[in-house]
């Protein structure tokens, strides 16, 4: 017994060569083996704490991959996340706050060594602001407590005219 796997592609080069379809015939036990390993991999991704960075929908706003670096009490931790603005209006992020630190700063890396602190940042309609890069992130300091891998803590995102809270995962 065999099964068929069909892979569709939109790539122009592959479209010319394979006419938008590749067919591979495999014995059914191989297809079951692939399915079992794929499901097992998904379960590991779901259970592993490094993948606990779930997305949070806050109406038309989506917060994804909210993480912080482990840091000693009194130190600085980097907080990273993505904000997707699915609304029809532009947003203006004024800052964040958290009970685990007294101060927060939006840090932008300018060039290879220089940094600048931004007071706020805009998020255009239907766009994503990526604060997970090495160029742009929040720093929270001085920490009121130790942040260890596996910990969670709340942050509040302050937009012009309103605020929303979400959890940050430390790892």
Short-list 59, 55, 138, CA closest to 91:
59
Q: Are residues 63 and 43 in the same domain?
A: no
Residue 29 has a pLDDT of: 55
Q: Are residues 75 and 39 in the same domain?
A: no
pTM: 0.67
Residue 49 has a pLDDT of: 38
Q: Where residue 80 falls among pLDDT bands split at 50, 70, 90?
A: very high
Average pLDDT over residues 59-86: 95
* Full domain range(s) for residue 93: 52-170
Q: Are residues 41 and 122 in the same domain?
A: no
Which H helix or E strand runs over 40?
A: helix 28-47
Q: Are residues 166 and 95 in the same domain?
A: yes
79, 106 Cβ separation under 8 angstroms:
no
Please write the tens of the pLDDT for every residue from 138-159: 999 999 999 999 999 999 999 9
Q: Are residues 64 and 96 in the same domain?
A: yes
State both tokens at 72: 């000693």
12, 37 Cβ separation under 8 angstroms:
no
159 versus 23: the higher-pLDDT residue is 159
């Amino acid at each position: 017994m065999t099964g068929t796997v069909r892979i569709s592609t939109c790539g122009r080069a592959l479209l010319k060569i394979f006419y938008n379809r590749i067919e591979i015939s495999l014995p059914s036990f191989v297809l079951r083996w692939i399915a079992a390993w794929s499901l097992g991999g998904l379960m590991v991704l779901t259970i592993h704490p490094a993948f606990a960075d779930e997305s949070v929908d806050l109406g038309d706003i989506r917060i994804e991959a909210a993480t912080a670096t482990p840091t000693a009490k009194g130190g600085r931790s980097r907080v990273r996340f993505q904000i997707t603005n699915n609304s029809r209006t532009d947003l203006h992020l004024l800052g964040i706050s958290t009970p685990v630190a007294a101060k927060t700063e939006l840090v932008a890396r300018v060039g290879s060594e220089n940094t600048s602190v931004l007071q706020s940042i805009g998020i255009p309609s239907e766009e994503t602001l990526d604060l997970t890069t090495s160029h742009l992130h929040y720093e929270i300091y001085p920490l009121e407590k130790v942040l260890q891998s596996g910990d969670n803590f709340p942050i509040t995102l302050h937009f012009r005219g309103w605020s929303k809270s979400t959890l940050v995962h430390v790892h």
